[in-house]
Amino acid sequence: MRHYRTGKASQLLDISKPTLIRKIKSGEIKAYRVGREYRIPESEIKRLFEGKTLDKVVIYARVSSRDQKEDLERQVKYLGYQVVKILTDILSGLNGNRRGLKQLFKLVEGGEVGKVAITYRDRLTRFGFKYLEQYFNSHGVEIEVIFDDEEKAPEKELVGDLLAIVTSFAGKLYGMQSHKKKRLVEVVKNALRDY
């Protein structure tokens, strides 16, 4: 029986290599370890390929400002799926009035999607991820987080949240491209560096 390396298997399945490896580690995809690499049997590729068209996946990617726009493309690339729709926002995660997020809610509520793929939890929302996850689940929709940052120490998570709040409010006060905003964020980062 033929076996594929992860690079070739990810191409055949039209998913990113990090997604493939994560699915192998979680046991979702059967593979054999050969040294430091994995080999995926052809039968597994066929099984996955047949089921893949049944997934209705929406990719949601978000950045806070226009100068991070390149990161949107990186997020979508990591979320390599055959998708129903790709939704993006260039707004703070603290802003609940995001056009892409509103569209996502409509798709979820309308039963048009079975899975929402995001790179990190904070791309969907800065706070209250568990509430959104529970709400989506109540509509039969799974949220798949590609790079799970849940293992952060509570202190690091709080520091990250505080920095997100300062960045958001400084952007509203001074404008996202303002030197005052950038200076204030840098001062807060330096103050929090020891935590």
pLDDT tens track for 120-168: 888 888 777 888 899 988 888 888 887 765 555 556 666 666 777 777 7
Q: Which of 10, 64, 92, 168 is catalytic?
A: 64
pLDDT over 70 at 55, yes or no: no
The pLDDT confidence band at residue 53, using thresholds 50, 70 and 90, is very low
Examine the domain organization and report whether 120 and 87 are in the same domain: yes
75 or 39: which carries more pLDDT confidence? 39
The whole domain housing 108 covers 57-145
pLDDT of residue 83: 66
pLDDT over 80 at 174, yes or no: no
pLDDT of residue 82: 58
Told to judge if 64 belongs to the known catalytic residues of this protein, a careful annotator would answer: yes
Into how many domains does the chain fold? 3
pLDDT of residue 38: 92
pLDDT over 80 at 28, yes or no: yes
Strands (E) across 80-138 are located at 83-90, 115-118
Chain-wide mean pLDDT for the chain? 77
What's the mean pLDDT in 53-73?
72
pLDDT over 50 at 52, yes or no: no
pLDDT of residue 54: 41
Examine the domain organization and report whether 116 and 43 are in the same domain: no
The pLDDT confidence band at residue 108, using thresholds 50, 70 and 90, is confident
Examine the domain organization and report whether 62 and 137 are in the same domain: yes
Where residue 71 sits, what CATH number does that domain have?
3.40.50.1390
pTM value is 0.52
Strands (E) across 8-152 are located at 32-34, 37-41, 57-63, 83-90, 115-118, 142-145
Examine the domain organization and report whether 127 and 62 are in the same domain: yes
pLDDT of residue 31: 92
pLDDT over 80 at 40, yes or no: yes
Examine the domain organization and report whether 46 and 80 are in the same domain: no
b/e per residue 146-178 (b: at least 16 CB within 10 A): beeeeeeeeeeeebeeeebebbbebbeeeebee
Examine the domain organization and report whether 43 and 71 are in the same domain: no
